[in-house]
Structure 1
Amino acid sequence: MLIALALVHALSAVPADTPDVTVRAAPERVRVERGASQYLNFDFLIHNGGADTLEITRVEVSVYDGAGGLQLRKLVNENGPSPSALLLSPDRVLPPGADGMIFNPFAEFPREVELARLRYDVELRPRRADGERGEPIARTVDVMPEAFAPRTRLRMPLQGRVLVWDGHDFLSHHRRWNWTHPVLAAHCITSNPGRYAYDFVLLGADDSLHAGDGKAHTQWYGFGAEVRAPAAGRVVAATGDRPDDGNFDLDALCADELAMYGNFVVIDHGNGEMSVLAHLQQGSVAVRVGDEVGEGDVVARVGSSGSSLFPHLHYQLVTGTQHGAEGLPSYFPGLRVRRGAGWVDAPDGQVDTGDIIDAR
């Protein structure tokens, strides 16, 4: 349930004559995803409007409870022979006029920590033409995250033993969707609807992904497996004629951001929550726009169409399908995940990269 609108704003910590440098959180509404820990899946957009090249040298987070008490504090900086600041961003050095992104380095917190307010202090240092560094520029971003759970009760869209080949943890490619990158910016990408996405792969009896060398789609245990509606709703987008060749037309993204997914089905569950089921097998999509589907109905089969490395099901819950839409945390109540020699309940039904799921 939404308990508050996130209040996110950047505050200047330097005099007004400091160059036009801004740092802000993206997306503006920061949601708390709950599982074994609490996760804040957001990042920082930086604009360098000054005359100097800037280098990101430090990010610190301070976490406060509802009474204003400090809960914890962490930082990354340039200390040490392999400084942690190198991990912050591919855009750690920003030329004048450039936009860049910092992937939030502090996105996971213990469940018992109260996340009432988080203050992120960002330090940037000018790098002048003579090689000297100027005085640090400081920016502060205050984040008040909101507790969130979707109104839609979801079920796993695949049945069997499933590997989360890639989820949305800090190292996931779904998470690292830098839309300030020139290629993405040129193709109208302005948000990350896949920030909470999963790539699901069905496993064989010996927990392998495929038989043989896996070069043929038919060797993958999941290829052609039934894809089921995770909840009831109305189909608002569907495409099923694209080949299972792992390719898509990059130039089509401005007209349709879903083009990267090859064959797909989008189900509107209401309340601003839509399921995207993607990379589906050519010719397998069994629904059309306007169809009403029930939870568990078979809508397609697993394929490898669009931007796909191998047969798998891409799933994400989103606010919409147009440019600027954002991803939402999604949970699958009742799931069990492998731990040690047995299976345990997934906390809150949340899974992520590397988890092996019993979805029978």
Structure 2
Amino acid sequence: MKKISNILILIVLININSRVWAQETIKIEHKPAVPLKEFVDSQTVINFDFVIENKTADTLKLTKVLLRIYDKNNQLLKEKFLDNNGTAPSINMIPNKELNGVGIINIFNPFPVIPNDITEKLVYTFTFNNSISIEHTVIPKNYKQAVDFILPVKNTTLVYDGHDYNAHHRRFDYEFAPIKNFGFSTNFMRYAYDFAKVDANGKMFKTDGLQDNDWFSFGTDILAVANGTIVAVEKSKLDNKQFDMGELKNNQMELFGNYVIIQHGDKLFTVYGHMKQNSSTLKTGDKVKQGQKIGEIGTSGSAFMPHLHFEVRNTSGANAEGLPSYFSDFSILLGNTKQNIKYGTVNTGDIFISNTKK
């Protein structure tokens, strides 16, 4: 019996030492520090990232991610996981799984949908090399928008790219070396949209789309989503789908070419990017009303086609974090039917029309 007890004690000590070693050599944090619950299509969604740092010279490969979801009474609601089992392992849905020595990777939360309202705590267990496990707790909170928004465009519009799990806004990797070198350290476009005007058949351009004027979006009015104050304007950039990469370190807004930033309250700013050259007559300090024209859609900056990049963020400066956005009085078009929305949001693939009178 004594020999068995000694073996059990040894196993416990090994497990404790392994956990201590892991905590000291692998650092895991999540960004933003307080993830927000967003309500999309009757689902609760959380949009955040894990930043994982390897402090050793060892190679670490992520082999499993386990999520346990708890309510306020610490009762388990749901359990989900990705692992390396099977011929097409689910862990491969995470592209950045390996740290070859000292380094950092960004992992987008792979379980964005959670039980409505009752979720209180998310407990993730990351397993590396099939043997090293670290537990990490995330406490999300509800987000309440302080100001009523309308949509920034009135015509029949496609959300060409939103901020769902697969969208490029959602997957802005600020730990990717070329991006990090420009000074980016947060995802300011975490909840952004690319809006494109379409015709009755869902087409974005009339013929071949080779010229800006062939696109229905080009020159379309952009509206202020709410009352506010202009805090930044750029209007001189050409509509040539280009930007100066050398300027990004000094001005991260260079990505958006011509743009307007409106402040609507404390830590509440809206950004309207890729505007048509000289289409805005506004200047810093101007007051605008909800529904007021603030410019037109163009192809300035990093614009792959004529479209409006719209986002909400918590500051107008560098290192801003994106915020969810909800809009009033619009309809989602589903073929020949309309789904009227008094208050809600849109996302990738939705075709909508604004019903506001403003």
TM-score of the aligned structures, taking structure 2 as reference length = 0.91
SS of 1:151's equivalent in the other structure is coil
- Give, in whole Å, the separation in 1 of the partners of 2:274 and 2:177: 25
Instruction: Give the deviation of 1:324 after TM superposition.
Output: 1.7
Kindly provide the amino acid, as one letter, of the partner of residue 177 in structure 2. P
- Does the CA-based 8 Å contact 1:337-1:344 persist in structure 2? yes
SS of 1:295's equivalent in the other structure is coil
Instruction: Give the deviation of 1:27 after TM superposition.
Output: 1.0
Instruction: Give the deviation of 1:348 after TM superposition.
Output: 4.2
- Does the CA-based 8 Å contact 2:191-2:323 persist in structure 1? yes
- Give, in whole Å, the separation in 2 of the partners of 1:17 and 1:290: 54
CA-to-partner distance for each residue in 1:262-303, whole Å, 9 max, x for gaps? Answer: 000000001210000000001111211110111111110000
Kindly provide the amino acid, as one letter, of the partner of residue 221 in structure 1. F
User: For residues 224 and 270 of structure 1, do their structure 2 counterparts lie closer, same or farther at Cα, with a shift above 3 Å needed?
Assistant: same
- Does the CA-based 8 Å contact 2:185-2:319 persist in structure 1? yes
- Give, in whole Å, the separation in 1 of the partners of 2:70 and 2:198: 43
Corresponding position: 1:102 with 2:107:
yes
Corresponding position: 1:43 with 2:45:
no
Alignment match, 1:31: 36
Corresponding position: 1:160 with 2:165:
no
Paired positions, count: 338
Larger radius of gyration: 2
- Give, in whole Å, the separation in 1 of the partners of 2:299 and 2:163: 20
SS of 1:46's equivalent in the other structure is strand
SS of 1:15's equivalent in the other structure is helix
- Does the CA-based 8 Å contact 1:236-1:289 persist in structure 2? yes
Alignment match, 1:77: 83
CA-to-partner distance for each residue in 1:6-31, whole Å, 9 max, x for gaps? Answer: xxxxxx99432335111111111110
Aligned-pair identity in percent equals 31
- Does the CA-based 8 Å contact 2:167-2:348 persist in structure 1? yes
Which runs of structure 2 are paired with 1:251-262 in the superposition (5 Å)?
251-262=246-257
Corresponding position: 1:16 with 2:14:
no
Corresponding position: 1:150 with 2:156:
no
Corresponding position: 1:241 with 2:236:
yes
Extract unaligned runs of 5+ from structure 1. Answer: 1-11, 126-134
Corresponding position: 1:229 with 2:224:
yes
- Does the CA-based 8 Å contact 1:14-1:139 persist in structure 2? no
- Give, in whole Å, the separation in 1 of the partners of 2:157 and 2:144: 23
Alignment match, 1:8: none
Instruction: Give the deviation of 1:332 after TM superposition.
Output: 0.6
CA-to-partner distance for each residue in 1:39-93, whole Å, 9 max, x for gaps? Answer: 100010000001211111111111111111111110001011111111113x211
- Give, in whole Å, the separation in 1 of the partners of 2:149 and 2:349: 20
Alignment match, 1:319: 314
User: For residues 141 and 13 of structure 1, do their structure 2 counterparts lie closer, same or farther at Cα, with a shift above 3 Å needed?
Assistant: farther
User: For residues 215 and 63 of structure 1, do their structure 2 counterparts lie closer, same or farther at Cα, with a shift above 3 Å needed?
Assistant: same
Kindly provide the amino acid, as one letter, of the partner of residue 330 in structure 1. S
Alignment match, 1:338: 333
Corresponding position: 1:59 with 2:65:
yes
SS of 1:333's equivalent in the other structure is strand
CA-to-partner distance for each residue in 1:295-336, whole Å, 9 max, x for gaps? Answer: 111110000110110000000000012222100000112221
Alignment match, 1:123: 127
Instruction: Give the deviation of 1:208 after TM superposition.
Output: 0.9
Kindly provide the amino acid, as one letter, of the partner of residue 326 in structure 1. E
Instruction: Give the deviation of 1:35 after TM superposition.
Output: 2.2
User: For residues 209 and 340 of structure 1, do their structure 2 counterparts lie closer, same or farther at Cα, with a shift above 3 Å needed?
Assistant: closer
- Does the CA-based 8 Å contact 1:22-1:139 persist in structure 2? no
Instruction: Give the deviation of 1:114 after TM superposition.
Output: 1.3
- Does the CA-based 8 Å contact 1:244-1:305 persist in structure 2? yes
TM-score of the aligned structures, taking structure 1 as reference length = 0.91
SS of 1:100's equivalent in the other structure is strand
User: For residues 108 and 345 of structure 1, do their structure 2 counterparts lie closer, same or farther at Cα, with a shift above 3 Å needed?
Assistant: farther
Alignment match, 2:9: none
Kindly provide the amino acid, as one letter, of the partner of residue 121 in structure 1. T
Alignment match, 1:138: 133
- Give, in whole Å, the separation in 2 of the partners of 1:164 and 1:267: 21
Please, which moves more after superposition, 244-253 or 217-226?
A: 244-253
- Does the CA-based 8 Å contact 2:299-2:307 persist in structure 1? yes
- Does the CA-based 8 Å contact 2:19-2:133 persist in structure 1? no
Alignment match, 2:4: none
User: For residues 13 and 161 of structure 1, do their structure 2 counterparts lie closer, same or farther at Cα, with a shift above 3 Å needed?
Assistant: farther
- Give, in whole Å, the separation in 2 of the partners of 1:173 and 1:332: 22
Please, which moves more after superposition, 100-109 or 230-239?
A: 100-109
- Give, in whole Å, the separation in 2 of the partners of 1:285 and 1:347: 30
SS of 2:30's equivalent in the other structure is strand
CA-to-partner distance for each residue in 1:132-160, whole Å, 9 max, x for gaps? Answer: xxx62212221111100210111111011
Kindly provide the amino acid, as one letter, of the partner of residue 91 in structure 2. A
Kindly provide the amino acid, as one letter, of the partner of residue 15 in structure 1. R
- Give, in whole Å, the separation in 1 of the partners of 2:135 and 2:319: 25
Instruction: Give the deviation of 1:205 after TM superposition.
Output: 3.0
- Does the CA-based 8 Å contact 1:34-1:348 persist in structure 2? no
Alignment match, 1:280: 275
Extract unaligned runs of 5+ from structure 2. Answer: 1-15
